[in-house]
Amino acid sequence: MKPEEELRELVNLDLKIKKLGEQIYDSPIQLYDDDYTDDYSIFVPDYERVLTTVDYSLINKIGHEGFTAPSFEKAGPREKLFFKPGDTVSAIVTCGGLCPGLNAVIRSIVLMNYYRYGNKIVYGFKYGYAGMVKEFGHEVVMLTPELVTQIHTKGGTILGSSRGNQEPVKMVDRLEELGVDILYTIGGDGTQRGGMDIIKEIERRGLKISVVGIPKTIDNDINFIDKSFGTETAFSEATNAIYSAHTEAKDAYYGVGVVKLMGRDSGFIAANATLATGMVNICLIPEQDFDLEGEHGVLAEIERKLLEKKHVLVVVAEGAGQKYLLDPANIQRDASGNVKMGDAGVFVRDAIKKYCDLKKIPVAMRYIDPSYMIRSVPPTPNDSIFCLQLAQMAVHAAMSGRTGMVVGYANGHFTHLPMEVATSKRKKISLMSQLWQSVLEATGQPITFSLDRNGSK
């Protein structure tokens, strides 16, 4: 989608954040100092917004057409709270696949509640939404500062995880039984859609329970959010696989390295790892259709690079080339509703080998799939900081009585984004973006693998 089209889409979206009621309690957070003037405050006013774009020409054009520039509510501590500090009970659930930083988010939620808001009770539900159903018998963990002190240095989640939703009635029954005031849902779009179902049941019962999401997607594909936690760690870790594949390929006569990276619908990990290493010759992502065969197909380009350099390195995002792997008449899905995709890495590897055998090029094939190694590692220091700040902003939002929202990050600011908007579609790489142009320049690959040099079929 072009930037102007995206902006017009945002103009028509409802970006208002739901509140449970009047904010009547004073925040216990005090960071004043005698050096500051009386009008200084660390609190964010409820009216403060963050523009969805910093492109002046787009904002100006929207203004001239009579529209107000779309903006997100700005995140941060509020001076007045809905929930009473010291008396608020919280719970955390982690869902979906593993992602670097999950433990760091859990830790920060616990510490923020305990030390900043005086809330001593934070429950942890084990194994995703299944842990919220009492009949399954999963332990409910009491999360304390002592328990979470060092967990941010470890991968995975101390609460465990699972895919798939459960019956909202049973989950809300559990929240009521435990006296939970705030539920933090840490997960991707499926998790947040599950959170929306929980909210509907909460509202049906007339309860005052806040549900605030912290978006977790290693693929960085949450809508209208600049970056997600774990993505930086993922592509940083992926560089090790690329370095290894490059060494193996260049030290072999006609060496071919193929590295498969995560990215079901969006190729951010593959693109960023490609840029970070500077060693990739071809990067294939879900956003760009490609043909294997033909004069300007992927295989012909690999042959040209092999004959020229005597080695080639290919990075493949898992969702690339699915037109060759999926049967539209027989689409299968996992417990989270995601399409079960074919193995793009193995497919590309085998296609290259078959092609080179026919061309009588004696390739030495090296294939690496580091997916599970990547998603289970601890976060990088910078990612760890981001996890901590996301969790802090989530606690601030929840204590103020906001609900049905996720914490986002846009244009250098933390924001509040309605769950409905965040889950409305997946974010993808624009092939006209600076990111993708940088990939093309770094790899030297052609702008397309399906058209001739004049842009026609």
**pLDDT tens string 280-327:** 999 999 999 999 999 999 999 999 999 999 999 999 999 999 999 988
What confidence score (pLDDT) does residue 203 get?
98
Tell me the pLDDT band of 249, cut-offs 50, 70 and 90.
very high
Instruction: Please give the Cα distance from 286 to 169 (Å, whole number).
Output: 37
Residue extent(s) of CATH 3.40.50.450 domains in the chain: 3-228+379-422
CB atoms within 10 A of CB 253: 9
Tell me the pLDDT band of 90, cut-offs 50, 70 and 90.
very high
Q: By the 8 A CB rule, do 405 and 414 touch?
A: no
Q: Is 45 exposed, middle or buried (0-12, 13-18, 19+ CB in 10 A)?
A: exposed
Q: How far is CA 36 from the centre of its chain?
A: 38
Instruction: Please give the Cα distance from 205 to 177 (Å, whole number).
Output: 14
Q: Which CATH number fits domain 3-228+379-422: 3.20.20.150, 3.20.20.10, 3.40.50.450, 1.10.340.30?
A: 3.40.50.450
Q: In what order do the strands lie in the sheet with 311-317?
A: 282-284, 311-317, 255-261, 364-368
Which numeric CATH code is attached to 234-376+432-443?
3.40.50.460
**What Cα–Cα distance (Å) separates residue 44 from each residue in 40, 224, 257, 321, 421?**
11, 21, 50, 46, 22
- What does the pLDDT average to over 17-33? 89
Residue extent(s) of CATH 3.40.50.460 domains in the chain: 234-376+432-443
- What does the pLDDT average to over 396-413? 97
Which of 118 and 340 is assigned the larger pLDDT? 118
**Which of 189, 219, 221, 291 does the annotation list as catalytic?**
219
- What does the pLDDT average to over 93-100? 94
What confidence score (pLDDT) does residue 202 get?
98
**What Cα–Cα distance (Å) separates residue 315 from each residue in 220, 244, 283, 447, 454?**
18, 12, 5, 16, 26
Q: Which helix (H) or strand (E) holds 405?
A: strand 405-410
Determine the 3-state secondary structure of 406 from DSSP.
strand
Residues near 457 by beta carbon (within 8 Å), at least 6 away in sequence? 451
**What Cα–Cα distance (Å) separates residue 252 from each residue in 158, 322, 352, 384?**
43, 30, 16, 38
What confidence score (pLDDT) does residue 40 get?
63
Q: By the 8 A CB rule, do 417 and 405 touch?
A: yes
End-to-end CA distance of the chain: give it in Å, rounded: 22
- What does the pLDDT average to over 15-21? 96
- What percentage of the chain has pLDDT greater than the value 70? 94
Q: How far is CA 434 from the centre of its chain?
A: 20
**What Cα–Cα distance (Å) separates residue 440 from each residue in 88, 199, 282, 319, 372?**
51, 44, 9, 19, 27
What is the β-pairing status of strands 210-215 and 255-261? unpaired
What confidence score (pLDDT) does residue 456 get?
44
- What does the pLDDT average to over 102-130? 97
Tokens of 46: 């409820």
Which is it for the CA torsion 308, 312, 315, 319, positive or negative? Answer: positive
What is the β-pairing status of strands 49-51 and 25-26? unpaired
Q: Which helix (H) or strand (E) holds 259?
A: strand 255-261
Which of 149 and 41 is assigned the larger pLDDT? 149
What confidence score (pLDDT) does residue 184 get?
98
Instruction: Please give the Cα distance from 359 to 347 (Å, whole number).
Output: 18
| SS3 assignment for 279-291 | CCCEEECCCCCEC
Instruction: Please give the Cα distance from 69 to 54 (Å, whole number).
Output: 10
Q: Is residue 369 annotated as part of the catalytic site, yes or no?
A: no
Query: What is the model's pTM?
Result: 0.92
Q: Which helix (H) or strand (E) holds 213?
A: strand 210-215
What confidence score (pLDDT) does residue 455 get?
45
